[in-house]
Amino acid sequence: MRAVVQRVNSARVTVDDRLVGAIELGLLVYVGITHGDGAGDTAYVANKIAGLRVFPDADGRLSRSVRDISGAVLLVSQFTLYGDCRRGRRPSFDRAAAPDVAKAVYEGLAGAVRGLGVPVRLGEFQAHMTVASSNDGPVTLLIDSGREF
């Protein structure tokens, strides 16, 4: 499982001009699911999302998590995080999990983050989404449950 985590002042997802999910201060998280992702991957990524200390304290040091600031997470599925661009000009998505499998893992991740006390809003799985965000910092981090980076 891979995640791109961005600290945001606000973020929103629309599908066909319909608001699907929105948050104010918190984390916008794009998540990709690969073959074999399971409970261990979900727990690892959920704990990272909930516990990353990327928000400033009174001294300006990054020492507070999304839980500490009473923020929220906007979780957006993005199979293209497993796009392989090493050969040719068209990415291969062979490492992305099949939609039915990925959806269950994605929903499990949302539940796991909620279980850690963080409000979660979702994008719309397998839809063409428009994502708008006001990045803060910017602070952008990569998480990979396979520890590939």
CATH numbers and ranges of domains, the chain: 2-144 (3.50.80.10)
Q: Which residue in this structure is represented by tokens 């994008």?
A: 123
pLDDT, residue 17, reads: 95
* Contact indicator for 45, 145 with CB cutoff of 8 Å: yes
Which residue type does 133 have?
S
Reported as a single tens digit per residue, the pLDDT across 40-60 is 999 999 999 999 999 999 999
Reported as a single tens digit per residue, the pLDDT across 114-144 is 999 999 999 999 999 999 999 999 999 999 9
Q: Which residue, among 148, 143, 116, 145, has the nearest Cα to 5 in the 3D structure?
A: 143
Which residue type does 124 have?
E
- Which residue numbers are catalytic? 78-80
pLDDT band at 149 (very low <50, low <70, confident <90, very high): confident
Question: H helices within 6-127, ranges in order?
Answer: 39-51, 99-115
Mean pLDDT of all residues belonging to the chain: 97
pLDDT, residue 71, reads: 98
